[in-house]
């Protein structure tokens, strides 16, 4: 990894203290983006108490989408909905009464974290999106005129069939949502089917072995015919259709559109103004790898930092780092540090995530080139 001096060299423009924008995504199932931001700011302040910290946790639509928006938009509501397997879960969503907008998150209803154990071929086949449909139904009953569904972190690969059935079926669901602005918030570009589709790319991450992936692909292929026919255009081939196990395709078939989850969150967290003001950007997630640079929070932030008139140095604190130094520098990331390295093991980084991230932020910030003086 590049050492901290590269950040310090480019951050010396601040006369006495640095304006540090702390804008992480969630750290998998261990820390929400809000919790990660709090841990980083705590550790940073220990070494650099005079720095001005701007806290803006982010999300691309996956786990943490609702909690990040709740910090900005107000009322958090709860709904009892079907979980990804049997039984029910308590799901949070955000109601913005001023704009009659409901912000939902599929991971709250069918997330991998709700399986009750590690994913397996059995859970990959059985998991469904019914609870997402029930959340949409709740939003409609509340009077929502705009429904934004954050996609990502799902345990299911059902193409949104469970969600559609909870809304009464394709025709009925499309009719109910005809007068509602329906938005799928995601930043993945995968279609529903094929080698880059929901089953083959994301199925293994959800416990599917090779045989299970084949079954899921077959199911999705049959379902895609119905989705495309209902929409009147090939939604299954659209960019983002494969998001959240194919829920993206189902939302498109119901009349929805796809927007960048990262940009939606950025707009509500005042990210543009904070980026313009910052001397240093600190972000992070559970694992930074090649996928992080394409449609995820870190990639979006690094690109925004590079577009600034005066390029903004980017520092990443992650659970694990899966990119080498040339790849990081090419993406505009000056430094990437891993909690697993700091903790001495992946296990400790997972079970004691908050404390390990605080510690990593403390030692990393202490290595930033200049020690600010009192303002």
Q: Poorest-confidence range of 195-204, 273-282, 361-370?
A: 361-370
Give the residue from 23, 85, 97, 15 showing the smallest Cα distance to 50: 15
- Do 252 and 194 contact (CB within 8 A), yes or no? no
Neighbour-count burial of 181, counting CB atoms closer than 10 A to its CB (0-12 exposed, 13-18 middle, 19+ buried): middle
Enter the tokens of residue 258. Answer: 């796809």
Label the pairing between strands 146-150 and 52-55.
unpaired
Would you say residue 295 has pLDDT above 70? no
Question: What residue segments make up the domains of the chain, in order of their start?
Answer: 5-58+270-366, 65-262
Order of strands, sheet of 52-55, starting from the edge strand that comes earlier in the sequence: 52-55, 19-22, 280-283, 314-318, 335-338
Q: What is the pLDDT of residues 106-120, one digit of tens each?
A: 999 999 999 999 999
pLDDT for position 90: 97
The per-residue pLDDT of the chain, averaged, comes to 91
Q: What is the pLDDT of residues 229-243, one digit of tens each?
A: 999 999 999 999 999
pLDDT for position 7: 55
Q: What is the pLDDT of residues 74-126, one digit of tens each?
A: 799 999 999 999 999 999 999 999 999 999 999 999 999 999 999 999 999 99
- CATH, range 65-262: 3.90.1510.10
Strand pairing partners for 75? 95
Q: What is the pLDDT of residues 320-364, one digit of tens each?
A: 999 889 988 988 899 999 999 999 999 999 999 999 999 999 999
Strand pairing partners for 20? 53, 280
pLDDT for position 66: 93
Label the pairing between strands 335-338 and 181-185.
unpaired
Distance between CA atoms of residues 256 and 112, nearest Å: 24
Helices 353-366, 33-47: crossing angle, 10 deg rounding? 40
pLDDT for position 366: 93
Give the residue from 96, 19, 88, 28 showing the smallest Cα distance to 62: 28
- Do 105 and 93 contact (CB within 8 A), yes or no? yes
- Do 127 and 158 contact (CB within 8 A), yes or no? yes
Q: What percent of the chain has pLDDT over 70?
A: 94
Enter the tokens of residue 55. Answer: 């806290």
**Overall average pLDDT of the 199-227 stretch:** 97
Enter the tokens of residue 220. Answer: 């999705």
Q: Which phi and psi (to 5°) does residue 80 adopt?
A: -90, 115
pTM value is 0.85
Largest CA distance in the chain: 66
**Overall average pLDDT of the 284-289 stretch:** 91
pLDDT for position 337: 95
Neighbour-count burial of 86, counting CB atoms closer than 10 A to its CB (0-12 exposed, 13-18 middle, 19+ buried): exposed
pLDDT for position 278: 95
pLDDT for position 283: 95
Q: What is the pLDDT of residues 25-38, one digit of tens each?
A: 999 889 989 999 99
List the end-to-end C-alpha distance of the chain, in Å, as a whole number.
32
Q: What angle do CA 197, 258, 320 make, to 5 degrees?
A: 60
Q: Per CATH, which fold does 5-58+270-366 belong to? A: Rossmann fold (3.40.50)
Give the residue from 133, 31, 62, 53 showing the smallest Cα distance to 351: 31
Label the pairing between strands 314-318 and 280-283.
parallel
């Amino acid at each position: 990894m590049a050492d901290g001096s590269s950040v310090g060299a480019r951050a010396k423009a601040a006369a006495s203290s640095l304006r540090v924008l702390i804008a992480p995504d969630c750290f998998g199932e261990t820390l929400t983006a809000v919790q990660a931001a709090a841990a980083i700011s705590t550790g940073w302040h220990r070494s650099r108490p005079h720095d001005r910290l701007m806290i803006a946790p982010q999300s691309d639509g996956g786990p943490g989408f609702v909690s990040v928006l709740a910090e900005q938009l107000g009322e958090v509501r709860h709904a009892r909905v079907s979980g990804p397997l049997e039984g029910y879960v308590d799901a949070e969503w955000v109601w913005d009464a001023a704009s009659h907008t409901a912000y939902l998150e599929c991971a709250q209803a069918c997330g991998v974290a709700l399986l009750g154990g590690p994913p397996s071929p059995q859970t990959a086949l059985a998991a469904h999106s019914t609870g997402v449909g029930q959340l949409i139904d709740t939003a409609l009953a509340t009077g929502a005129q705009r429904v934004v569904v954050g996609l990502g972190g799902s345990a299911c690969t059902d193409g949104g069939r469970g969600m559609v059935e909870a809304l009464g079926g394709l025709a009925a669901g499309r009719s109910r949502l005809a007068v509602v602005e329906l938005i799928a918030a995601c930043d993945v570009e995968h279609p529903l089917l094929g080698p880059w589709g929901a089953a083959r790319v994301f199925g293994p991450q959800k416990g599917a072995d090779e045989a299970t992936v084949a079954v899921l692909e077959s199911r999705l292929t049959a379902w895609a015919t119905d989705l495309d026919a209902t929409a009147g255009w090939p939604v299954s081939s659209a960019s983002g259709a494969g998001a959240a196990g194919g829920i993206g395709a189902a939302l498109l078939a119901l009349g929805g559109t796809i927007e960048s989850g990262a940009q939606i969150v950025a707009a509500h967290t005042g990210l543009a103004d904070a980026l313009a003001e910052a001397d240093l950007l600190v972000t992070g997630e559970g694992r930074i790898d090649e996928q992080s640079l394409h449609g995820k929070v870190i990639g979006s932030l690094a690109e925004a930092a590079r577009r600034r008139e005066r390029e903004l140095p980017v520092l990443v604190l992650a659970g694990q780092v899966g990119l080498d130094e040339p790849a990081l520098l090419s993406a505009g990331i000056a430094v990437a540090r891993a909690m697993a390295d700091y903790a001495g093991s992946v296990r400790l980084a997972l079970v004691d995530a908050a404390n390990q991230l605080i510690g990593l932020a403390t030692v990393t910030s202490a290595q930033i080139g200049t020690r600010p003086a009192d303002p």
